[in-house]
Every structure is written in structure tokens, then in C-alpha cells.
Amino acid sequence: MENPFEITGVYAREILDSRGNPTVEVEVYTPVSMGRAKVPSGASTGTHEALELRDGGSRFHGKGVRRAVENVNKIIAPEIVGMDVTWQRDIDTIMLELDGTENKSNLGANAILGVSLAVARAASEALGMPLYQYIGGTNAYVMPVPMSNVINGGVHAGNELDFQEFMIMPVGADSFREGIRWVSETYHILKGVIAEKYGKDAVNIGDEGGFAPPLKEPHEPFELLIEAIEEAGYKPGDEIAFAMDPASSEFFHPDIGKYVVNDKEYDGGELLELYKDLISKYPIVSLEDPFHEEDWENFALITKELGDKIQIVGDDIFVTNPKRIRKGINMRAANALLLKVNQIGTLSEAIDAAYTAYRAGWGIVVSHRSGETDDPFIADLAVALNTGQIKTGAPARMDRNSKYNQLIRIEEELEGIAVYPGRKFRNPFL
Ligand code: PGA
Ligand code: ZN
């Protein structure tokens, strides 16, 4: 008899992402299902991320992914066709062996990840199971609190704001659906507040759908947000809290060994004081990449000083890599992990990264990239892993809303079972 779980075909193509850059889309076929996955791409990428293979040359200004696509169609496909689509870990391991490099530079992490995610989706479809349940099992039920990036700066926007992300978290809501409504209402009021203060042309949006008004100082976005939240009828702090990702690797200048924020130079200690000042004035509950990707000492210092009070999240420093996360755990360099599947390149390794962080008592934030697609995979992943947090942009642009909308569907499907952790986003089980 025909095995319904046998992989009968694997096919990749080059498509466009949310920034209009090429990316990899993969389809995996079984006799009873097809799983499709699309690969995201960062702008403020960590140096130690798995390698995204780009063609170079003049096509797409060098950003073409025809080599990655060919690697799927000619090298990976023949190896995994015939395998059982539910053997996720075997398939991921075979791809690692085929690649043979530490950072997936041979086949490309974009090639490998596309297959890895499409395999998971094809398996869940073949089993007739929702993706979050296939990955997370019968106990996947925690909805994530959104970290919604409503003011964009850094390399994601054309303004002069050095800090990259100013996010709102509806911690006082009692369901995901209600939380995302609060976020949407606040976002629209914020638009009015910005238009009134800076004019109509100041409400253009950045890569992650947040507004990019002409601000410079790191405290200015928080002032606008307080005003918007109050005008929307919510209480800053109690109901809607703040998260921030300065993405400080981008404004660290190795030549002078200093961070430069709004033309002022800061050493690590001075930057720590700036963060402390912001945290004392505004209800900030989560701070990501406060220092650059090799500044382990200052990460450890800020975690020691502020880790009891707020979440310290590592993104570029850990790059979802279990080895770097282990170093972070040993050094107490953070208390939370930003989980980006394309930083490491396979679903199995991303889940390993999550387990490594969990076992150290860390929080986990499943995250999109600034270059995204309409693929909502990470929405399912956040529920599958019961992380309690997701960072996936402003409630604008379908590359961001596809994730929020998938979470609305999942919560509906899990009615009576789903738990929205609210203020307990760092550890929904404590
Ligand atoms: P990126 O930014 O996707 O451009 O790397 C997101 C982040 O820094 O968290
Ligand atoms: Zn980041």
C-alpha cells in the first residue's frame, strides 16, 4: 500500500518578500498533502547567524536566490524524496550533513530552512492536524502576548532615531483577540497623535509597519506612546506595557569602541545609565539587545542590575544558536531568548534553542524578521512551544497581520483551553 507520509516531491522557487527582495519558497509533497513555506530575511542581522545564500551579480542587485533554489531542487530534494515526512529531525540532520559547514554556507540557510519548515507543514497536513499541534503536541495551548513594534527606527526606517524598535504589549488583556484589538486601537490613535504633532507626511511606516516620525532622542517615542495609549482609553503599564529593541550592534562603532545615540557617544556604563533612566520613567518590561553582539560583559551587568525587574532579551548575541545560548546561560548574560528560525536554519535546531533557554528558566520571544512574507509559520510555532510571547511587528501590512490573524484563528480553535498569559508572559507556568 502507498505510504501517505512518503515525500514524493520537493520544489523550490524564487519569490519576493515584504521589502521586494527575492526569497526562497519551498513546496513539499506527499500523496495526501502539500506543505509550503517561505523564508524571511533580516536587515539588522547578527554576524553569527546562519548564512543566507545570495547570488551576487547584477540580477536583483546581487540579492537573487537562484543558487539556494537550485540547492533545494538538485541537491536536497533527491536525498529526502522517499523519506517519511514526519521524520523531521532525520530530515534536518541529513540537510546539515549535506551542507557540512558550521553556518550552512554551502547550501544556504535559506535553502535548508525553506525545506525544514515546508516538511513540518506537509506532515501536519498529511496528519490532518493544525501545525501548532503537530509541532507542540496535545499540550500546546498558551497564546503569545504580542510585542508590537509601532514606532520604527534604526535600519528599519528612514528617520534619525537610532533605537530600532518601540513596542507595545497588551499585558492587561484577557485574551489574544482582545490584546490585538487594544494594539490596533492604540496604533490608529498614535497615527493621529503623530500627524497632529509632525504633520501628515510623518505617518509613513517602516519595514515592520510601525510609524517612523522624525524623532531623535530615545525617550521621545515613549512620550508619544503614553499619549496614544491614554487617548485610546488604556492605562500605560497596567494594561499596555512597553518593550524596546535598540538593536545596539547597529549603533556601536568598533573603531572608537563607543555607542553613538543621537550624535552623543556612550561607553557601556553610560548606555546602561540611559536605559535605567528610561526604565524609571516609562513602564518598560522588556529590553532586547541593549549592547552589541559581542558585549557579553555588559549584557551580564545589565542582567545583574535589572534582570529581576525586567526581561533582558538576547537576539544578535545568541542568534538562536544553542552554543551561544549556553555561553549566555553560563555568563548570566540575559534572561530571555529571541527565537528566529532563520538565524539557525532548521526547525529542529530552533526547538533545541528553545529547550536550552527554557531549562535555564529564561523567557522566549518567537520573532519575525524585518523582511517577511505572508507565511504565518511563527504564529503556530509560538503556540506550539507555549512561549507566551511573539514579536511580529505593528498591526499593519499583511506580512505582519498574517501572523496575528493566524493567532486569532488558533485562539478560536482552542476555545475554552487557550490561556493568554498577560503579565505572566515571561513564564506562563509560574
Ligand atoms: P531584523 O530585525 O529582522 O532586521 O534583524 C529584527 C530584530 O532586530 O529583532
Ligand atoms: Zn533584535
pLDDT tens digits, residue range 58-93? 999 999 999 999 999 999 999 999 999 999 999 999
Would you state the pLDDT for residue 318? 98
Nearest ligand 1 atom to the CA of 370 is: 3
CATH architecture group of domain 138-424: Alpha-Beta Barrel (3.20)
pLDDT in tens, 410-428: 999 999 999 999 999 999 9
- Ligand 1 binding pocket, CB closer than 6 Å: 42-45, 245, 247, 315, 367, 369-370
Cell numbers that stand for 248 in this block: 545596539
Question: Ligand 1, residues 47, 367, 389, 403: which to mutate, most atoms within 8 A of Cβ?
Answer: 367
Write down the pTM of the prediction.
0.98
Q: What angle do CA 16, 19, 23 make, to 5 degrees?
A: 35
Would you state the pLDDT for residue 114? 98
The ranges assigned to domains in the chain are 9-128, 138-424
Question: Ligand 1, residues 343, 370, 390, 400: which to mutate, most atoms within 8 A of Cβ?
Answer: 370
Q: What angle do CA 389, 393, 398 make, to 5 degrees?
A: 115
Superfamily of domain 9-128: Enolase-like, N-terminal domain (3.30.390.10)
Would you state the pLDDT for residue 43? 97
- For residues 393-419, average pLDDT: 98
Quote the CA–CA distance of 133 and 122 in Å, as a whole number.
13
- Which one is catalytic: 208, 239, 250, 288? 208
Catalytic (active site) residue 340: yes
Would you state the pLDDT for residue 269? 98
Backbone angles phi, psi at 269, to 5 degrees: -65, -40
| Residue found by looking up cell 545560548 in the block | 325
CA-nearest residue, atom 1 of ligand 1: 42
Give the number of the ligand closest to the Cα of residue 208: 1
pLDDT in tens, 166-208: 999 999 999 999 999 999 999 999 999 999 999 999 999 999 9
Instruction: Please tell me the distance between residue 301's alpha carbon and the centre of ligand 1 in angstroms.
Output: 23
Q: Which residues touch 369 (CB under 8 Å, ≥6 apart)?
A: 40, 41, 42, 43, 340, 342
Q: Dihedral of CA 320/326/332/333: which sign? A: negative
Give the number of the ligand closest to the Cα of residue 314: 2
- Quote helix, strand, coil % in the chain, to nearest 5: 40, 20, 40
Catalytic (active site) residue 208: yes
pLDDT in tens, 296-340: 999 999 999 999 999 999 999 999 999 999 999 999 999 999 999
- For residues 152-167, average pLDDT: 96
- Which one is catalytic: 340, 349, 403, 411? 340
Instruction: Please tell me the distance between residue 81's alpha carbon and the centre of ligand 1 in angstroms.
Output: 34
Would you state the pLDDT for residue 1? 74
pLDDT in tens, 232-288: 999 999 999 999 999 999 999 999 999 999 999 999 999 999 999 999 999 999 999
